[in-house]
Amino acid sequence: WLHTTGMSFPVIVVFLLLIFLFYMAVCRVVAESGFVFVDLPVNVHQFTVAILGSGSLSSQNLLGLGLGSAFARNWKALPMVVPAHIARLKSVMRIEGRTLFLWCAVAFGISLLIALCFTVYSGYRLGGAANFYQRIYGDGRFYGLVATWMKNSTHVTGTEIIFLLIGAATVMSITVARYLFPWWPLSPIGFVVAAGGTVRSAFLPIFLVWLLKVILLRAGGMKMYRSTQPLILGILIGHIVGAALSILADVLYFPDAFHEIQDY
């Protein structure tokens, strides 16, 4: 499919290799950190253009990379992350593997059917795929990105390579220190996801939760910490119920002017 869009095989190899590495990184971050989803600070198609330089890529390659944003940027929808959550549910809930797989397959089938039906419906309602993002979010930035690449020729210089190596060396050093020294407080995950949109948007809640956890553990130990868990779960459930009611209100009273409930 990528070659049909006009991309050359060397660029395809780099692009797919980076996608696989990013997929593995996101899966590891989600599994180790406990995040339900995470957004990385850079997308694969943009990173591919950055390391190769838009000036060294043909217009066909740039077009293929731009259209690749459909599966190369939305880390919240990665299928590789889902099995990590499923494995965790199996160990926590102690559900038989076949039963859990059956219901996961049913959920996948239902979501796939809904996504296909909504895509076809939106195509007729909104006037084509080019208008999907613009009507839902307000602009066509990902289609305009291709034009930006073509109009602004860039080439990789020594500065970009130096900063890339500094970042790689920093993460490697933090990772090695974490395994060698039990007292080491920093996690490489924080360095990886700190600039991502989800972490930037939720920085204050994450900090407050961490601070509250530290206070509870030091003031009352595990007993007090566990006694407050129902309250926290109630807050989470309340948030979900509130979002569901807001969506229902939009469907009933604002069918042509939906309100944004949550950015991420």
**Domain ranges in the chain?**
9-156, 202-264
Q: Which residues contact 245 (CB under 8 A, 6 or more apart)?
A: none
Look at the alpha carbons of 22, 201, 176, 160 in this order and tell me if their dihedral is positive or negative.
Answer: positive
Q: Which residues contact 140 (CB under 8 A, 6 or more apart)?
A: 130, 133, 134
Contact assessment for residue 15 and residue 45, using Cβ atoms and an 8 Å cutoff: yes
Cα–Cα distances in angstroms (integers) from residue 196 to residues 73, 76, 142, 143, 191, in the given order: 12, 12, 17, 21, 10
123/225: higher pLDDT = 225
Encoding tokens for residue 84? 């990590």
Residue 173 scores a pLDDT above 90: yes
Full-model pTM = 0.70
- Which amino acid, residue 130? A
Given its phi and psi angles, is residue 138 left (phi above 0), alpha (psi -120 to 50 degrees) or beta? left
Write the pLDDT tens digit of every residue in 181-236.
Answer: 988 888 888 777 777 777 777 788 888 888 988 898 888 888 888 888 888 889 88
